[in-house]
Structure 1
Amino acid sequence: MKIGKFLCKKKIFFGIFKEDKILEIKNPFNLEKLTGKEYKLEEVKILSPCLPSKIIAVGLNYRDHAKELNMKIPEEPIIFLKPPTAVIGPEENIILPPESKEVHYEGELAVVIGKTIYRPKNFKDIESAILGYTCFNDVTARDLQRKDGQWTRSKSFNTFAPLGPFIETEIDPSNLKIETKVNGEIRQSSSTKELIFNVFELVKFVSNIMTLFPGDVIATGTPPGVGILKEGDVVEIFIEKIGVLRNGVKRNEY
């Protein structure tokens, strides 16, 4: 089941995407409560499917990416935070900030949390806390990352967390094709079977550190092939059975 957030005639609502129609729901975390209203897909604008209180992202979590960088496989997940103010939805522009001359794309599978979880006792608790999965672009000012020696500034600019288009609630995340295209050219191509720490291990690891709330996002890391974005580019993150997250790129001198 694909769920998302939509805009129609100044009204923002959540809905289930089904056969080119949107079935409005009262609560994205309770899919049984339909309002009875339906919309055609062409009538609505697709927004980011959730606005997380926090985005927990994972560095170096693909075996093929570690091999590309000639880096040792980490013993535990390497995590960092991105702010909710960085989130944009499909078809919105990534804004290249004047502070950076080297902004990169990083296509990723994102886990969306469906209910509050902290220190889960068993696998069932972890599994039941996951609402579903969506596409994510961990946009990064690589030159600032190198300069700062840590990741907060480079990952946190407004528009640096494209998310969407929908949350898919009924897929097995263990072996999904993932690709990134820039202007139609494939730049990243891998599978989630290459993940060093799978999504359930990540949810357990993160929720043993901090409470995760409904709508929070864990971005699971990027495969090899990251590279530079420039003004006028169109970047697309494709994940099998989820869809395509497409964003333009614009430079704004503010």
Structure 2
Amino acid sequence: MKFTTYLRQGAPRLAVVDGGDLIDLNDADAQVPADMRAALRAGADLQAAGRRAIQAGKRQALDGTKLAPLVPEPGKIICLGLNYYDHAKEGGREKPDYPWFFFRAASSLVAHGEAGWLPRVSSRFDYEAELAVVIGTAVPRHTTQADALGHVFGYACFNDMSVRDYQKRTPQWTIGKNFDRTGGFGPVLVTADELAPGATGLRIQSRLNGQVMQDANTDDMIFSVAETIALLAEVLTLEPGDVIVMGTPAGVGQARTPPVWMKAGDTIEIDIERVGLLSNPIANEAA
């Protein structure tokens, strides 16, 4: 099953996707919170609610509907660096012994179809095709790999757009990963039961103005979804609506000769097999 978050009068609303249509879940059943994170935290059975809404709810066309970031206000957005073998190699590093974790803030997110912002202070603006994991139920401390995937609600596309010179100003990458409107997220979530465990075996690509820049498979991840969740559970409690962004394969702009930086007027697409196509135009940062 697929879900999305769209905007109604400026407010995000959770909807189930059926073909080319979306159906608002809260309209179909007032007991279902209108926000994805709130619905997950409330323990709502979103697949059952989605089936009921598909049968009886009011439809509108997905195409042309203004979307919001898939989870507009995640409690945590935890990202992995260097999580594909070829990307670690192109960055001059060996396989990490432990994931290079960093955090994103909700204020950095941008919806499918909305412009990613080229910052005023930098022209070194890069793309990163990534798989996002949305947590559906709380992950207790010390959850094992064997149990980890049972807490995943679904998967989506993410573009971890990065301001490389700021990223390199500090040993921790956070500052270069949190510029406003640089975290593309959407357009839909595909529930975990629709995919292989851990979303393995999926082709993942980025395309800049139609040209393939990254082309890999989620099997190439160093740390799997299950292992990543288990490692995080050694440290913290993952909560419903938290997001894990699983790293990017080789082919990023900074590793090319000469480097390829995104500029105003470009379009960047992230395409993950059976998950979706995330597209963002690039524009100069608004005044």
**TM-score w.r.t. length of structure 2:** 0.83
Matched, 1:154 2:176: yes
Query: Retained in 1: the 8 A contact 2:143–2:230?
Result: no
Deviation at 1:43, TM superposition (A): 6.4
Question: 2:149 aligns to what SS in structure 1?
Answer: helix
Equivalent in the alignment of 1:183: 209
CA 1:39/1:87 → structure 2, altered by over 3 Å: closer, same or farther? same
> Where do 4+ consecutive residues of structure 1 move more than 4 Å?
8-11
Structure 2 SS opposite 1:225: coil
In structure 1, the residue matched to 2:195 is 171
Mapping of 1:183-202 within 5 angstroms?
A: 183-202=209-228
Counterpart mapping for 1:1-254 below 5 A: 1-8=1-8, 12-25=12-25, 26-27=32-33, 28=36, 29=40, 30-31=45-46, 32-33=48-49, 34=52, 36-41=56-61, 42=63, 44-51=65-72, 52-123=74-145, 125-169=147-191, 170-172=194-196, 173-227=199-253, 228-252=261-285, 254=287
Distance in structure 2 (CA, Å) of the matches to 1:8 and 1:40: 12
Post-superposition shift, 1:216? 1.1
1:8–1:44 CA contact under 8 A, matched in 2: no
Distance 1:58 1:4, change over 3 A: same
Task: Flag structure 2 segments of 5+ consecutive residues without an equivalent.
Answer: 26-31, 254-260
SS of alignment partner, residue 165 of structure 2: helix
Deviation at 1:145, TM superposition (A): 1.6
Change (3 A) 1:148 1:47: same
Residues 162, 43 of structure 1: CA spacing in aligned structure 2 closer, same or farther, 3 A cutoff?
A: closer
> Matched residues in 1 for 2:64 and 2:239: separation?
31
Q: Matched residues in 1 for 2:264 and 2:65: separation?
A: 27
**What CA distance in whole angstroms lies between the structure 2 residues aligned with 1:147 and 1:204?**
31
Gaps of 5+ in 1: none
User: Partners of 1:144 and 1:205 in 2: how far apart?
Assistant: 28
Q: Distance in 1 between matches of 2:250 and 2:280?
A: 20
Give me the whole-angstrom Cα distance separating, in 2, the residues matched to 1:21 and 1:193. Answer: 31
Q: Distance in 1 between matches of 2:59 and 2:118?
A: 34
Looking at structure 2, the residues matched to 159 and 166 of structure 1 have their Cα atoms a distance apart, in angstroms, of 18
Aligned partners of 1:57 and 1:81 also within 8 Å: yes
Please say if residues 229 and 249 of structure 1, whose CA atoms lie closer than 8 Å, have aligned partners that are also in contact: yes
Q: Calculate the TM-score normalised by the size of structure 1.
A: 0.93
Secondary structure, aligned partner of 1:47: coil
Corresponding residue SS for 2:236: coil
| CA distance in structure 1 between the aligned counterparts of 2:174 and 2:268, rounded to whole angstroms | 23
- Deviation, structure 1 residue 186: 0.5
Q: Over aligned residues, Cα RMSD in angstroms?
A: 1.8
Deviates more, 1:220-229 or 1:30-39: 30-39
| Paired amino acid for 2:4 | G
Percent identity, aligned pairs only?
34
Whole-Å Cα distance in 2 between the matches of residues 220 and 253 of structure 1?
29
